[in-house]
Structure 1
Amino acid sequence: MTYSALRGRTAVVTGAASGMGEATARLLAAHGARVALLARREDRLAGIAETIGAEGGRALPVGVDVTDPAAVASAVERVHAAYGDVDLVVNGAGVMLPNPVADGRDDEWTRMIDTNLTGALRVIRAFLPDLVAAAGAGRTADLVNISSIGAHLTFPHYAVYSATKAALTHLSATLRAELGPRDVRVTNIEPGLTDTELGSHIDNAELSGQLDGMAAEIGPLTPDDIADLIAYTTSRPARVNLRQVIALPTRQA
């Protein structure tokens, strides 16, 4: 599908070093958007930006940890210096570290909350003036948050991860009430089982094995599936806000 409405837009994608973030950045760039790639692994971003450039797109690699307020502020300056204001923001940075709550893994709780929720808030706050200005000037303005089906379904030992995603889903709904009257669209994407690097971060062998078993039985979505949904959503006419998209593998649905 051709998403011609993306041509000329300026996008920021966090979590762009792999998975859904990378796939989204590549697809937006392929359809004519200038894309700022934000993630911690700057060396990985440089390679992705080079590939996008070789394919005729424009991409700016920006190394940033969204849990660091100073790093986010610096990233905003770099994006503005290179591309000016942005009109499309995709919050794709996230971590999934399941373990029983009884284990008391404060380190994992902190990392998930700081990345999945507080990090997303920092990025939203940083680029919100751009989105409001774009909408005020009559241009399409989009904020897309990548949440998870875990915001609704219960999975044993995923309590804290699911709580962060439920918070992001509700944050999206509340922001929609605030920003919709200002013509800024807010979309919340909730993928089900998806083949990304998230599972590789799990240090609990039993839970890691369970996830692998689910993938083998169900057949996960691909990052490209989610990227396609985001490109479709953000290329609709400005009067159309696809507010909530739940995407599941057919066998999980």
Structure 2
Amino acid sequence: MVAATAPSGPAASRRAPSPAVVTGASSGIGEAAAEKLASLGARVVVLARRADRLRDLVERIAENGGTALALTVDVTDPAAVQDAADRVEAELGGADLLFNNAGVMLPSPIEERAAGQWQRQIDLNATGLMNVIGAFTPHLVRAGRERGVADLINTSSIAARNIFPHFAVYSGTKAYVTHLSHHLRTELGPKGVRVSAIEPGIVGTELQSHVTDQGTIDWLEDSRKSMDWLTPQDIAETIGFLAALPPRVDLQQVTIMPTAQTA
């Protein structure tokens, strides 16, 4: 266990996770969260498909005095995810924080029947999430028992609750993430595992570059002109805050919006 720096009083009970596993770590929120957790003293394990991006991230964390291990993993491959979990256990003694962040956003009008995009979102946002949760939950339960607290943090979206044209499938996957997180909290909370769902509004990441629906592209461009979007670092700060809370405190759902975003 690596304690976060704190002078005295309630803040002294805060702790940084070690090791902390971050999926979707090759860019955006996952990348920023890995750097934030490393800055708090966590040994970070970063998972994603792009080995070159992970290598650069590990080097940058090391240059800033942190420690990170890169594992090239596609979270939609359950065997690869389990292999990664086994390696984390063998080499680092298991994880006490899991930030489930891998995901994709591919909005389109339902009449277009973009079945490939539908399946990609379900495979990554829901099934991939479950692959990772299944593989690492034993680590978290053991950490909760032995260290007093562990964390499972899942990236959902404001789309889990709000209504946006062309986002039906994406929103459905994120509603699943939020609802699942609430259920898991009832199972895992009594075992010392805090479960949180993070629901960001618009964050400037690579997600927008994957969008092919012209109506959504136009909407995103208009919103960029009318408001300051959140940055990945904004979300990373929140992940660091959650991880450093006293063990008795669990924020089960956190909604983070750009100040000017109203829906």
> TM-score by structure 2 length?
0.93
| Amino acid corresponding to residue 159 of structure 2 in structure 1 | G
Q: Deviations over 1:100-121 (max 9, x none)?
A: 1111111111110111111111
Q: Which residue in the other structure is 2:81 paired with?
A: 72
TM-superposed CA distance for 1:80, in Å, is: 2.4
Indicate yes or no: 2:76 matched with 1:62.
no
Q: Which residue in the other structure is 2:231 paired with?
A: 222
TM-superposed CA distance for 1:181, in Å, is: 1.3
Q: Which residue in the other structure is 1:246 paired with?
A: 255
Corresponding residue SS for 1:199: helix
Q: Deviations over 1:174-227 (max 9, x none)?
A: 001111111210011000011111000011233212112112212100000000
Q: Deviations over 1:143-184 (max 9, x none)?
A: 000100000000000000000000000000000111111121
Structure 2 distance, partners of 1:6, 1:45, is 25
TM-superposed CA distance for 1:42, in Å, is: 1.1
What RMSD over aligned residues (CA atoms) do the two structures have, in Å? Answer: 1.4
Q: Which residue in the other structure is 2:204 paired with?
A: 195
Q: Deviations over 1:108-140 (max 9, x none)?
A: 111101111111111111010111111111332
Q: Which residue in the other structure is 1:168 paired with?
A: 177
User: Contact conserved, 2:29 with 2:232, CA < 8 A, in 1?
Assistant: yes
Structure 1 distance, partners of 2:138, 2:153, is 15
Q: Which residue in the other structure is 1:85 paired with?
A: 94
After TM superposition, the structure 1 = structure 2 runs for residues 12-31 of structure 1, keeping only pairs within 5 Å, are: 12-31=21-40
Structure 1 distance, partners of 2:87, 2:192, is 26
> TM-score by structure 1 length?
0.96
Structure 1 distance, partners of 2:254, 2:121, is 22
Identity of aligned residues (%): 50
TM-superposed CA distance for 1:7, in Å, is: 4.1
Corresponding residue SS for 1:142: strand
Q: Is the deviation greater in 138-147 or in 92-101?
A: 138-147
How many correspondences in the alignment? 252
Structure 1 distance, partners of 2:73, 2:185, is 26
Corresponding residue SS for 2:117: helix
Structure 2 distance, partners of 1:206, 1:229, is 31
Distance verdict in 2 for CA 1:233–1:7, change over 3 Å: closer
Q: Which residue in the other structure is 2:104 paired with?
A: 95
Indicate yes or no: 2:188 matched with 1:179.
yes
Distance verdict in 2 for CA 1:249–1:8, change over 3 Å: closer
Corresponding residue SS for 1:137: helix
Corresponding residue SS for 1:188: strand
Distance verdict in 2 for CA 1:31–1:138, change over 3 Å: closer
Corresponding residue SS for 2:69: strand
Q: Which residue in the other structure is 1:213 paired with?
A: 222
Indicate yes or no: 2:56 matched with 1:44.
no
